[in-house]
Structure 1
Amino acid sequence: MISSGEPDMSESESDPSPVPSEFTLQAVSIGLLIGCLLCFANLSFGLQTGWISMMSLQSALIGFLISRMLPIPLTAQEIIVVQTTAVATGTMPLAAGFVGIIPALKLLDETRDGSPPINLTWVAAIGWSCSVAFFGVFLSPPIRKQVIINEQLAFPSGTATAQLIAVLHKMPPPDTSVRRRVGYIAVEEEDTDLPTEDPTDEGSASESVQSEGWHALTSSFAASGTLTLIAYFFPAIFSIPLFGTYLARQWLWTFTPSLAYVGQGIIMGFPTTLSMSLGMLMGWGVLSPLAKLSGWAPGPVGDMTDGARGWILWTSLAIMCADSLVSLLPVLAEYVTGLFPRGQQTVKEDYDVETEDRLVPMTWVVGGLLVSVVLGTFLVWIVFGNDGIKPWATLLGFILGGLLSVLGVRALGETDINPVSGLGKVSQLFFAWVQPGNIVANIIAGGVAEAGAQQAGDLMQDLKTGHLCGASPRAQFFGQLIGSAVSILVTTTAYSLYNRAYVIPGPSFPAPTAYVWLSLARLLRDGELPENSAIFMISFAAVFSLVSAIKTYTARSQLWYSQWIPSGVAFAIGFLNTPSFSIARLIGGIVEHVYRTRYTKNKSDIRLIVIASGFVLGEGVVSVVSLVLKTSGVGVASCWGCLPGLCGGCPA
């Protein structure tokens, strides 16, 4: 625990105000600004690839840079409020299902699914978002005491952010030996390492960030944004036939030289991008041609219905489910064992140094949970009606979501992986039994569970950072509530604009995870699989069950080589995304690995992370500019070099 960052207990006890001192207008405003930028970026990237960035560490870093421009720079505790607010705002596209659930409902077929496509209006989407936006926030405070204070789970990303904040503010480093990882979540995966800071480098790191940070951030932001804008007018730039026009046209082997995806690869790290690329090679280099040439997927390769892309989706789904469930088993076993303690119990020391006025009162928690569940059930009924999902079934979804959130938070604390997508699929399995034959209910129930698990996990990572740096849990709680509320409007409006300008799912925004949600719901109802896909699903699920078990064991044993064991979820994402995105991310992963192992001598050197953040934010923000141009009727300047169907926005 770092002493200089902890609050003054005497002042805290004498101050009757329920609002902590670090909960300031400046901190919340900067957090909302960063969060809105992240929200735009995450919505765009999520609809393209199904992978979004939590970016806790990056939010803290950018918040620090912005605060240096203020007359009185923000304290370390205020920066944590910035980070918490930004993460809550930026991850709503996943929490409210705009990158998966909402597009999946648009894909419904009345003849096949018993329900026509559901296209939510702006008002309906606001109602749905409100129903799931706050449930997970109120779940976090009661879990904090157990997993952060009593058990002191690692929460590597939260610890990494605390280490960064300590370095930037020249504070003693947190007393921890946890391996650092950058806060990055996919549909549910993150796995990348950064070296732990050397305390002797604290001053130089802080000065380096202040002197070079803005230049690196603005330069990378401008470069990424400019390239994105040029690619809007000349789409062929983002669809390069890397291995020739035949492989590009027939088998979708193109390359997108997007700096944003290179930046994502840097943030994700080499081990994760390597796993994703191995999945790309297996899915698009082996299984896709096999399915096409064997006649199992007779349609065009990119068709999600009867093409090879739709065929390999099932193997991806099997890998994802197997990996998520196996990684949860040790957590579930420990949780169940803890419910039935044996032998003499010792009283654990209470390590919580917070006073009551800095904690979230249980009356708020209980009241908030009741209101969010009742209001959420009512809003879901208003939006989808009895034919969509019964109110009692929605209520069950919230209860199950709460239970699954506990597992997700514990998994996140121990492994740095929040398996929200896997937890959503567990909910789908449950509702296939509770409300059989109702695909809409199946998808919605999965979305409720996913939202609760993700938000509870997000805030728990942030609470870990706050615990190490002495920030008020109540201030962070306020920050997440405000961030979630604002993001409802921002995310819904942005999605509505995208939906007007583009076909979703479509060529520019394929929303691959939407097909995962819908395919599993259909499978649970009908039990029908594409030809010869079952044997591959079973085989790959068995292999990655073993791989996941080994990876989980080695990670929990803190063995150095655990990061090099393939990640099942990242491997499966390589199937879902076309090769163009995976190749760009692999380049970023290689850059990160080479820079970290060959070129940087200073363990506190975070310039590459600053540049990567600029790359991601630059394309995400300029994508909104592209959206405005598209809505205004400003189209591409030239389709020269475009291959039919492969260039987003180009009719060629």
Structure 2
Amino acid sequence: MENDGEAREGRHRRDVHEAAGYPTEVHVDNWGDKKADPSVAPDEDQIESADKNAEFRDAWVKLDEILGTEAGYMDVPIPPWKEQLTLRALVVSVILGTLFSIITHRLNLTVGVIPSLNVPAGLLGFFLIKTWVTLITKAGFTSKPFTRQENTVIQTCVVSCYGIAFSGGFGSYLLGMSSFAYERIGPDTEGNTVQDIKNPSLSWIYPFIFTVSLLGIFVLVPLRKIMIIDYRLIYPSGTATAVLINSFHTPSGAKTAKKQVRYLGKYFTLSFLWSFFKWFFSGLGDTCGFDNFPTLGLKAYANMFYFDFSATYIGSGIICPHIVNCSVLFGAIVSWGLMWPLIQNREGDWYPTGLNPGRDFRGIFGYKVFISIAIILGDGLYNFVKVTFVTVWNLYIQNKNRQQLPSTVAKSEKDDDDVNFDRKRRDTIFLSETVPYWVALGGYGILAIISIIVIPHLFPSVKWYYVLVAYIIAPLFAFCNAYGCGLTDWSLASNYGKLLLFIFAAWAGSGGGGIIAGLAACGVMMSIVSTASDLMQDFKTGYMTLSSPRSMFTAQLVGGILGCLIGPATFWLYWTAFNIGSPTSAYQAPFAVIYRTMALLGVEGFGSLPKHCLQLCAGWFAFAVVLNLIRDNVPRKYSRYIPIPMAMAIPFYLGAYFAIDMFIGTCIVFVWERIDKKKADSFSAAIASGLICGDGLWIIPSAILNFAKVNPPICMYFFSAKNPAIPS
């Protein structure tokens, strides 16, 4: 589920699993007699020692071997790279980029759980262009054929666009600078000063986003051959998306795609209409309507256990792995079902009575925030060390194997099979066009110089040499993240960002400015590392669809520019139309408070924590590390039932309502898989995409109605018959 805001960053993406049903009826059971070429990919022992949670990487290599994809495309000409970048592709990218940015902001500002939208981007791009071609043809005009290369360009552009809505920090570090995050932590908290407030404004958001979000596109371009050709990194999400797009443009694949589009359209419409219906019952705002429906009783509702009828969260549950959804629910039960009620019983002993439970760090709010942070940091640190080790070890193995290769290799039977034909053709196309080194190095250098000048003007506490240091070490972190993502599909961009957050917050120090400096440095690093990893994923997709590296680079750059324009604009829609940050709002922006608290810890330490909070944080930090160790060192048949700490941490702060919604989504998929697994694998992602997109699109008319001061006519509110408390 991506990012996490946070959960998206640390876990395998669901689209790898979803795409498995698209191309053919090849199943895992049929892959056992095929072996990867040891001269170009790690053998099974190396993969297992590198990452026991990434068995599916080898499966995707074998799937590609079995398909022999390129033999079916020999009669299809490959368009030049400029013809892969069409006007209609740009128009579709703007439409989908805007929609997915709205969805990403909604998820960032509510629960922070962002499922990968690569598959919906490829599917909707296919649908919109096919519709475009059909309408043009019926009108009597001729239209260029829709190629898989153009489909890949759309997917790349859309992912690059909505990726900035995530890496731009609109729900995390950027919003952590605001006054609402300052107030949620508490003006009385030591180190939390008014000098560390910078409220959102398009006048500074746009130059900041343009300054930091495009550098990552340039930083790793010179290494594309090493990552894709020499090291044969898998990039499971990029591979899965390529398999999906290749299947769309074959006769049988197009038929399946049409069915998927019908499912998506049907549930998109239902989701949009359901959101419209719910609006009528939310007349008095945050306390009314289906979003506050006490489905499990008023006592459970008071402890954040209720089903809020959200199509977005149900769709996220459908598209996320079962273990993620179950981990979220388990975390909600442990925290809101057991731990918080027990700690509340210690009120007056562990912390003073009468404190605001939604904002005062000296009370229960402090336990919620800091224990959540402890779990996130424990999980993040473990995976940071693990993926770094995997990266270094695999680099060593690659270089060792290369040195031990004989000078001549005997021709084998495998030289004549489909896999080598596909590989050789893809290698030829991928290497036939290059992105000049001077473009990459010049682009990075020019943008770095601009950043060194601009960022200190936007944030006076960020000295120019802070930015210089960040840009000197960023390429190393970007390479490590992109290499680790190629092995495991885990992007640890937020972990690299948090590392710089602590370092620069401590460097700037207390007395005002340290929090802003830490959050800004986090944004610089997170944007570069995240974008660089996304670009390499897209290069892998382009490699497998015979798309030109130049068109991939250009699409990523265009998508990044669109994201820099669309991301702030769609965020501003939320910021001006909804009560972001209120404890009773649907848009609480939980990670804004968490990131600001991390910066505060970097500046001041743990001085203001309530009684026993530090001990509990240490225990949960250790729990996250130990749980990850267990997951990585027990057989797969057992580890898939062990909760994921990162997913557990999210409801510790927010509550259980979204966990219940996501669990309902996972139950739907679980039952469907038992009834018809093939159909569930093929169409569950389309249904989930429809639910998420329909609910997300409702934000636009909802905001317009809000701007026009048109209020819903009804307030549906629940209260105890013994103690009525009707809102005024």
Listed as ranges, the gaps of 5+ residues in structure 2 are: 1-63, 134-143, 283-288, 410-422, 721-725
**TM-score w.r.t. length of structure 1:** 0.85
Query: How big is the shift at 1:510?
Result: 0.6
* AA at the equivalent of 1:535: Q
Indicate if the aligned counterparts of 2:305 and 2:655 stay in contact, CA closer than 8 A: yes
Aligned position for 1:207? 255
Matches within 5 A, 1:144-183: 144-170=224-250
| Identical-pair percentage | 25
Paired position in structure 1 for 2:182: 108
Matches within 5 A, 1:580-599: 580-599=657-676
* Contact kept in structure 2, 1:287 and 1:312, CA below 8 Å: no
SS of the residue 1:69 aligns to:
helix
- Contact 2:264/2:690 (8 A) holds in 1: yes
Shift of 1:303: 3.8
RMSD over aligned CA atoms reads 2.9
State the 1:145 CA deviation.
Answer: 2.6
Structure-1 separation of matches of 2:360 and 2:175? 14
- 2:403 is aligned to 345
User: How much has 1:395 moved relative to structure 2?
Assistant: 2.1
Q: What are the equivalent positions in structure 2 for 1:349-498 lying under 5 Å apart?
A: 352-354=427-429, 358-385=433-460, 388-437=461-510, 438-498=514-574
Distance, in Å, in 1 between the alignment partners of 2:713 and 2:488 is 47
Instruction: State how far apart, in whole Å, the 2-side matches of 1:452 and 1:280 are.
Output: 33
Q: Determine the C-alpha separation between the residues in 2 that align with 1:153 and 1:412.
A: 9
Which whole-Å deviations, capped at 9, do the CAs of 1:434-478 have from their partners, x for residues lacking one?
Answer: 333311111111121111222122222222222222222221111
> Given that residues 220 and 478 in structure 2 are in contact (C-alpha distance below 8 angstroms), is that contact kept between their aligned partners in structure 1?
no
Contact 1:278 1:574 in 2 (8 A): no
- Asked if 1:245 corresponds to 2:298, the answer is yes
User: What is the CA-CA distance between 1:5 and the residue it aligns to?
Assistant: 8.2
Aligned equivalent of 1:184: none
How far 1:403 moved relative to its partner? 2.5
TM-score, normalised via structure 2 length:
0.77
CA distance in 2, matches of 1:38, 1:562: 33
1:527 partner letter: G
Q: Indicate which of 576, 579, 602 corresponds to 1:503.
A: 579
| Deviation of the 1:267 alpha carbon | 0.9
After TM superposition, give the deviation of residue 342 of structure 1 in Å. 6.7
Contact 2:196 2:515 in 1 (8 A): no
Aligned to 1:315: 371
Q: 8 Å contact 1:358–1:475 — kept in the other structure?
A: no
Contact 2:361-2:610 within 8 A present in 1 as well: no
1:600 partner SS:
helix
SS state at 1:242 partner: coil
Give the letter for the 2:614 counterpart: A
Cα distance, 1:339 vs structure 2? 7.1
The answer to whether residue 380 in structure 2 is matched with residue 324 in structure 1 is: yes
Residue 289 (1) aligns with residue 341 (2): yes
Return the alpha-carbon distance in structure 2 between the equivalents of residues 367 and 553 of structure 1: 45
Aligned AA (1:391): W
Distance in 1 between residues matched to 2:305 and 2:69, nearest whole Å: 54
C-alpha separation in 1, matches of 2:392 and 2:260: 47
* 1:200-230 deviations in Å (ceiling 9; x for gaps): xx82x531321x3333222211111122222
Matched to 1:26, the amino acid is R
**Matched positions, count:** 603
CA distance in 1, matches of 2:263, 2:396: 50
In the alignment, residue 101 of structure 1 is paired with which amino acid? Answer: Y
Give the match for residue 627 of structure 1: 703
Aligned match of 1:574 in 645, 651, 657? 651
The residue that corresponds to 1:514 in the other structure is: 592
Match among 69, 76, 87 for residue 131 of structure 2: 69
Distance 2:84 2:72 in 1: 12
Give 2:112's aligned residue: 50
Which residue type is aligned with residue 498 of structure 2?
Answer: K
Larger C-alpha radius of gyration, 1 or 2?
2
Aligned to 1:183: none
* 1:105 shift after superposition: 0.3
Contact 2:515 2:600 in 1 (8 A): yes
Alignment-mate amino acid for residue 529 of structure 2: A
Instruction: State the distance in 2 between where 1:140 and 1:157 align.
Output: 18
What does residue 526 of structure 1 align with? 604
Give the SS at the match of 1:21. helix
The match for 1:60 is: 122
Query: Are residues 159 and 607 of structure 1, via their aligned partners in 2, closer, same or farther at CA, if it must alter by over 3 Å?
Result: same
Cα offsets for 1:378-398 (capped at 9, x unmatched): 22122222xx21111122223
Q: Partners of 2:715 and 2:218 in 1: how far apart?
A: 50
Residues 78, 336 of structure 1: alpha-carbon distance in 2 compared, 3 angstrom cutoff: same
Looking at structure 2, the residues matched to 530 and 6 of structure 1 have their Cα atoms a distance apart, in angstroms, of 66
User: In structure 1, what residue type is equivalent to 2:494?
Assistant: S
Q: What letter matches 2:218 in structure 1?
A: F
Structure 1 CA distance for aligned equivalents of residues 176 and 658 of structure 2: 21
**Which stretch has the larger CA shift, 105-114 or 625-634?**
105-114
Query: How far apart in 2 are the matches of 1:270 and 1:225?
Result: 26
Q: Residue by residue, what CA displacement relative to the aligned partner does 1:291-323 show, whole Å, maximum 9, x if unpaired? A: 222124654544464553442221121111111
Q: Which moved more, 1:120-129 or 1:107-116?
A: 107-116
Deviation larger for 411-420 or 634-643: 634-643
Is contact 1:27-1:74 (8 Å) kept?
Answer: no
The SS at the match of 1:70 is helix
CA distance in 2 between counterparts of 1:589 and 1:7 reads 37
Listed as ranges, the matches of 1:117-196 within 5 Å are: 117-170=197-250
Deviation at 1:499, TM superposition (A): 1.8
Displacement of 1:355: 5.4
2:7 aligns to what?
Answer: none
Mapped contact 1:94–1:451 kept (Cα < 8 A): no
C-alpha separation in 2, matches of 1:344 and 1:478: 33
Measure, in 1, the Cα distance between the counterparts of 2:243 and 2:263: 21
